[in-house]
A and B are shown apart, each in its own frame.
Chain A
C-alpha cells in the first residue's frame, strides 16, 4: 500500500494560520505582475511565462486535491489537459468559438471521462491504481494521435482564442492573464472550501485509514470518485486555458511524461496544501525555463564548447535534481517553509 499519511499529517492549527501568509503573498505577486511587467521591457515574455505558470498551477492543484488529500497517485492526469485542449480546439474548428459554450463542454467532457475511468481505476489499489490511470492516459494519447481530422500526431492550430459572449477580449494577452488568474483564484477557493468541508474531511480520513472510515460507516469509493471527477474537471479547465494561450493543441499535451511532471510539481511544492502545488508548478516551469542559462552562467570557468553543451543538455541536471529532492527534501517547498517557521 502507498503510505502517504506519515509524511504530511495535518499541521496543528497555529502554524496553519501563520502560513496563510504564503497564499496571500503568492496571489498578490500574480496580481501585481502585469503592472510591474510593464516596466521590465519584456512584458510579453513575462506575462506569457506567468500565464503558463498559473495554468499549470491549476492543473497541479487539481492533482493535489486527490494526491495530497486523497493519497490517490494518478499517473494519467495530463489526459485532462488534453481533453480540455481538444474540446476547445474541436469545437472551434466547427465554428463554436465562444468560451461560454466551450467551458461547459470542457467540464462535462472531463467529468465524464473522470467518472468512467475513475469508476474502474478506484476498484484497484496502490500500484495497480498508478498503472491503470497511466494506461487510461495513454489510451487517450493514442486516440489523439489517430484523430487525423484534428491534426493527428501534429496537433491542431486554433484559428483564434475563444470569444467571451461574442467578444474577442482574450486576444489581448493582459486580459488573458487576468482570465487565467481569475480561474486560478476560483479553483483555489473552491478547493480550499472542499478540503475543509464535510466531504473533504471524509476524503482526508480515507487517506489516513480506509478501514477505519469503513468501520464508521463510510464507503470510501464514492467520495474518492467524486474527488476524482472534481479534480479532472479542474485539470480540464487548465487544458482549455493552455490550448487557448498557445492557440494550439497536440497529443503532446497528454504524454505520460507530462503526467509525471504534474506529480513532480505537486511534490516539489509540498503535498496537501493546494497553494504548495501552485508554487511547485512555478518552481518547475521557471527552473525548466532558466536552468539552461543558469548552467551556462555557473560554468563560467569551463570552455565555451562545454558550456553550451551543458546548457543544451540541462535535463541531465534536472533528472538528478528530481532524485535529490525526493531523497532529501520531503515535504517540498511548503515543508521547508513550515520547518523554517518552527525553528
Chain B
C-alpha cells in the first residue's frame, strides 16, 4: 500500500474538479458564442445583418475556446505540478487557499497581475515589453490546428482544420525562442543574457530531431493534416502511430475477424502480410514498430528541450543563472512568461498525443470489447439503448455530440498523462551541462532521428498498409 495514498486521493480529486471547471467553462463559452447567440439572432428575424452576425459568432468560437482555455489550463497545470512534486517528495504541497489548496494558483495569478511592473534601469523598454508577447503569441496561434483534431472535427471547429496543420504548428513552435533571446538581451542583466543565448543554442539543436520525428509520422500517414492523421488511428491501440503507423492494421483486422467468427480471417492476414515473402515482412514490421517507438521517445526528449523542462532547463538554470532569461521580469510580464511556458508544455503533449498516441480515439480495440462481452451481451445492449434514448436530447445540445465528447475525454486522459510524466521527470533528474546538452543533441539525437527516418522509408516500401 502506498504510504501517502491519502495525498494521492486528494490529488486525484483535485484534478477531476479542475478538469470539470476547465472543460465546463470552455464548453459554456463555446455554447454561448457558437450556438446560443446565433440561434437567438436567427430567431429575431430574417435579416441579412443578423445572419452575418450569427456567422461571425460561429467563426469566433475557436478563438473563444482558446482564449478561455489557456489561462485556466495554465493555472491547473501549475497546481498539478506543485501538488505532483509534493506527492513525489513526501511533502504536502499548497493546501491552504480554497478547499484543499484548490484555488492556490488562482490566487497566485491575481497576485501576479497586481504586482508592480518593473522595467530595470538600462533595459531596452520596447524589447523588454515585447519579449513576453512574442513568447506567448505562438502558443495561441500554434494551438489552432489542434482544435479540430481534439474535438473530432466538430462542425464549429471545422474551420481550424488546416490541410498543412502540422507544418503550421512546427513553424509556430520555433518563434518563442526569439522572445527568450529578446527578453534576455533587453533585460540588461548578464544572467538573462547567458540564459537567452543558451536558449537559442538549445532551440536550434533540438528543433531538428523534433521535426524529423514528426516528419517520420507524416510520411507514414502520407498527410500533413492533423485531423486526417488522427482519423487514421481509429480502432484500438494497435493502429496508433507509435506502433508502426499502420503496420499492425492487418493484425487488428485479423483479430476482429477471428473473434467475430468471420471466415475470411486468413484472407485478411494474407492480404496485409503476404506469406511468400514473410521474412522480409516480419523484418519490415519490426523495423517500423521499433523505429516509431524510438521516434516517440525522441519527440518527447526534444519537446522537453523545446519547452525548457528539466533536465533541459538550462535557459532558466536556477542554481546557476538565478532564473535565466526571466530574472528581471515581474508582475504581469512574468505571468505571461509563466503562462506561455505551461501552455507550451500542454501543446507539445497534445501534439504527441495526436501524432503518436491515437488522438481522441478509443485505445481499447473493438475485438477486445467483443471478446470480453461475448457472454454478457446485455451490457453493450443497455449502453446502446441509453444512447438511443438520449440521442435527440444530445443532438439538441449541439456541442455534446458523442463523437466530440469521447474524443475530448480521451485527449484529456492521454495529454495529461504526458504532462504528469513531465512532472515526474522534473521530480527525478538533475540538469545537463550545456556542452553535454549540445553533444546529446548533435551527436546522438540527430543521427538517430535520420536513421529512424530512413528505416521508415525503406520499411514502408516493403509492406502494404493500404488494403
A and B from one complex? no
A contact set with B: CB distance below 8 Å:
none
